[in-house]
Amino acid sequence: MAVAPGLACATTPLPAPEVVHAQAPSDPLREHARYAALVVAANDKARAGAFDDALKLADTALRELPFGIEAGVAKVEAHLALGQRTQASDFAERLRDRHPERGEAHYACGKAYYALGRLSAAQDAFADGLLRLPTDRLLQLAQLTALTHDPAVPLSELDARADALMNQTSDDADVVSALAMANELRGDNPAADALYERAIALRPVHPFAHYNLAMLRRSVSGMASARPHFQAFLDQAPPSAVREVEAVRKLLQETRHE
C-alpha cells in the first residue's frame, strides 16, 4: 500500500484504552470478586469522564490485588487523562516489571512515555513488548503510531509495517490514519488528506482522524473546509479528550464568521 511521502498531528493519542479493557479477564480477575467489581466500576467511571473517581477505584482495587493488571492499566489511563503523566509513567514502569508477559503492561508503559514526549522510550517499550509477544496487534499498532513521529524512519518502513497489519485485518482505519499522520509530518499534505478521508470512510466514528484532518485543512485552506471535521470530532470525542474538546470549542467560537 505504497503512498507518497508524508506524516501527522503530534497530539494524536495512541489507541484508546477501551481496546485494552475489551480483552478477556485474567484468572485473578475472575477469582477476586471485589477486585473485579472495582475494576468494572473504575472503567465505567473512566468512560463517563469521571477520572478522579476512576483513579480512586483503581487504587482501591490495587489494594485488593496489588499490581493486578486490569486495575493497573485503569490507573495508568486515569493518570494520563488527568494530565498526571509522571505518575502514569512511574506506575506503568512498575506494572510492566511485574507483568513482562502482558502486552497491555508494555502498551501502558509506552503510552505513558509517549504522553511525556519521550518518543524513543515509547518506541523501546513497544518494541520490547513485541519481542515477547510478536503478534500482539495493539503493540504493533502503537509502535507504528509512535514511529510515524520519528523523521528518521523512512516512509517505506512505515508502509511495510502497515501492510503487515493490513494483511491481518483488511482496511483497518487505525492503520490508515497512522499512515496519514506519517505523510502529514513528512510534508505531503495531499496524501495525508486523502488517507484521513479513507480512514473516516472505513470508520466514520473516528474522532482523531476527524481532528487531524480538520487541523490539516485549516492550515492549508482555512476554516470552511475544516469546520465539519471539527464538529465531527466534538460529536465523537472520548471523555479523555477534554483538553482537545475545550480547545476546539474555543476555536470554533472565535472563527464562527470565517
One-letter amino acid at 14 equals L
Q: Of all residues in the chain, what percent carry a pLDDT higher than 90? A: 68
User: Tens of pLDDT along 75-131?
Assistant: 999 999 999 999 999 999 999 999 999 999 999 999 999 999 898 999 999 999 999
| 240 exposure class (CB count in 10 Å sphere: 0-12, 13-18, 19+) | buried
Better-scored residue on pLDDT, 33 or 100: 100
The reported pLDDT for the residue numbered 163 is 87
Contact 122, 149 (CB under 8 A): no
Alpha carbon 187 to chain centroid, angstroms: 22
**Rounded average pLDDT over 127-139:** 93
Q: Which residue would you say has higher pLDDT here, 15 or 218?
A: 218
pLDDT on residue 7: 28
Confidence of residue 68 (pLDDT cuts 50, 70, 90): very high
Q: Cβ distance 232 to 207 under 8 Å?
A: yes
Say if pTM beats, i.e. exceeds, 0.85.
no
| Predicted local confidence at residue 11, as pLDDT | 43
Q: How far apart, in Å, are the Cα atoms of 230 and each of 3, 51, 88, 190, 256? A: 25, 24, 29, 19, 12
pLDDT for residue 166? 85
The stretches of 119-241 forming alpha helices (DSSP H) are 119-132, 137-148, 155-168, 173-185, 189-202, 207-221, 223-236
pLDDT reported for residue 18: 43
pLDDT averaged over the chain? Answer: 86
Query: What is the model's pLDDT at position 26?
Result: 57
Please state, in angstroms and rounded to a whole number, the distance separating the CA atoms of residues 85 and 196.
28
Q: Residue 212 is placed in which grid cell?
A: 487531524
Contact criterion met (CB below 8 Å) for 200 and 206: yes
Q: For residues 97, 129, 112 and 137, what is the CA-based torsion angle, rounded to 10 degrees?
A: -140
> What are the structural domains of the chain?
17-254 (1.25.40.10)
pLDDT tens for each residue of 141-160: 999 999 998 888 999 999 89
pLDDT in tens, 159-212: 898 888 888 766 689 999 999 999 999 999 999 999 999 999 999 999 999 999
* Alpha carbons 112 and 91: distance in angstroms, whole number: 9
Place of cell 473504575: 42
